[in-house]
């Protein structure tokens, strides 16, 4: 058996790091405004998320597919202000909810030049955690760092704040993988990247290349099937990772997509999920579900 997680980074339309700015700016806004946008509230667009939301959510719900949403806090708060009825769908038990920063912060300062102190990083993660738990009336147990970048402090901060797992590290693999213990309280669920020299040719399990036109759907399906074929561990998993806006905004073309284009992207995702559904050994789950079923065995891994 191999577990498949559908993981969605629910954030602004392509969070873009800008030098000397602590908050990310939506790339569509940045490209049209040469001045730095110092007000975080004005630096964000969630148009892509809004445009693709209904079709994507209806598919998940119609198929009863579990999914994990990692929320950039400002984005989901803005979304909820506009569409509280849609936000209610995210509260359904089929979905797992986690944290993805507040303003898509570059915690390491790799691109912005502003590295966060331990105190500042903790304040951001805690603020996000508290506000999301208030919004959803649900405990946040998982974390995914913006840009998949963590500091030397991140894991300890997460442990102290009561998170159960992190999913912010890439791991090269040609097969499904298991999570592992970071410390006695925190588990890491890495995101697979296949080696460049493998049959899968350096494929990230983020679906950027598919939605940006760099890989076609048949190639993506072939690669996932190969990963599954290589997997013999019945407690292993693969995560399919995407962004809430990526059905509706194309970075390469710098444009919001038409309804027809959005449907095409949704249909490619459906085709991938359908191909995985046909494999007897595949079960769709979440990191939280995996922990409930197998967490006790982690110490023996």
Domain layout of the chain by residue ranges:
2-300
- What mean pLDDT comes out for the span 179-184? 94
> CA–CA separation, 146 vs 9, rounded Å?
9
Would you state the structure tokens that stand for residue 72, as one six-digit string? 């950039």
The counts of H helices and E strands in the chain are 10, 15
- State yes or no: pLDDT of 5 exceeds 90: yes
**Least confident stretch, 60-64, 231-235, 265-269:** 231-235
**In the prediction, which pLDDT does 198 show?**
83
Contact criterion met (CB below 8 Å) for 4 and 276: yes
Would you state the structure tokens that stand for residue 275, as one six-digit string? 């191909």
Across the chain, mean pLDDT equals 95
Would you state the structure tokens that stand for residue 216, as one six-digit string? 């076609």
Query: Which is it for the CA torsion 63, 66, 72, 77, positive or negative?
Result: positive
CA-based nearest residue to 101, from 126, 80, 137:
126
pLDDT digits (tens, 9 = 90+) for 93-138: 999 999 999 999 999 999 999 999 999 999 999 999 999 999 999 9
CA-based nearest residue to 154, from 135, 178, 128:
128
pLDDT digits (tens, 9 = 90+) for 151-167: 999 999 999 999 999 99
Alpha helices in the chain (DSSP H): 27-32, 47-62, 73-82, 84-90, 118-136, 154-160, 208-211, 217-230, 259-277, 287-294
Contact criterion met (CB below 8 Å) for 25 and 43: yes
Contact criterion met (CB below 8 Å) for 212 and 251: yes
Dmax (CA) for the chain in angstroms is: 54
- What mean pLDDT comes out for the span 229-234? 92
**Least confident stretch, 110-114, 195-199, 214-218, 241-245:** 195-199
Q: Is the pTM of this model over 0.85?
A: yes
CATH superfamily of 2-300: Glycoside hydrolase/deacetylase (3.20.20.370)
**In the prediction, which pLDDT does 299 show?**
63
Contact criterion met (CB below 8 Å) for 57 and 86: yes
- State yes or no: pLDDT of 25 exceeds 60: yes
pLDDT digits (tens, 9 = 90+) for 244-254: 999 999 999 99
How would you label 215-229 residue by residue, b for 16+ Cβ within 10 Å and e otherwise? Answer: bebeebbebbebbbe
């Amino acid at each position: 058996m191999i577990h498949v997680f559908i993981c969605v980074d629910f954030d602004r339309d392509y969070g873009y790091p800008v030098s000397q700015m602590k908050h990310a700016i939506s790339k569509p806004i940045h490209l049209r405004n040469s001045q730095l946008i110092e007000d975080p509230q004005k630096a964000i667009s969630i148009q892509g998320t809004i445009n693709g939301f209904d079709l994507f959510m209806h598919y998940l719900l119609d198929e009863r597919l579990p999914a994990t949403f990692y929320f950039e806090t400002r984005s989901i708060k803005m979304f909820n202000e506009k569409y509280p009825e849609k936000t209610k769908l995210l509260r359904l038990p089929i979905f797992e909810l986690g944290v993805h920063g507040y303003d898509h912060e570059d915690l390491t300062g790799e691109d912005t030049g502003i590295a966060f102190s331990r105190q500042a990083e903790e304040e951001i993660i805690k603020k996000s955690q508290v506000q999301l738990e208030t919004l959803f009336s649900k405990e946040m147990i998982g974390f995914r760092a913006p840009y998949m970048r963590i500091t030397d402090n991140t894991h300890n901060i997460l442990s102290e704040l009561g998170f159960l797992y992190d999913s912010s590290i890439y791991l090269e693999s040609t097969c499904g993988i298991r999570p592992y213990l970071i410390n006695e309280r925190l588990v890491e669920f890495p995101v697979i990247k296949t080696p460049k020299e493998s049959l899968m040719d350096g494929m990230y399990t983020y679906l950027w290349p598919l939605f940006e036109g760099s890989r076609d759907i048949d190639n993506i399906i072939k690669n996932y099937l190969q990963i599954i074929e290589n997997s013999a561990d019945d407690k292993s998993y693969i995560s399919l990772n995407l962004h809430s806006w990526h059905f509706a905004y194309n970075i390469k073309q710098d444009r919001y997509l038409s309804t027809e284009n959005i449907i095409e992207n949704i249909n490619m995702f459906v085709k991938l999920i359908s191909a995985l559904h046909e494999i007897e050994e595949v079960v769709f789950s979440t990191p939280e579900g995996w922990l409930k079923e197998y967490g006790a065995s982690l110490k023996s891994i």
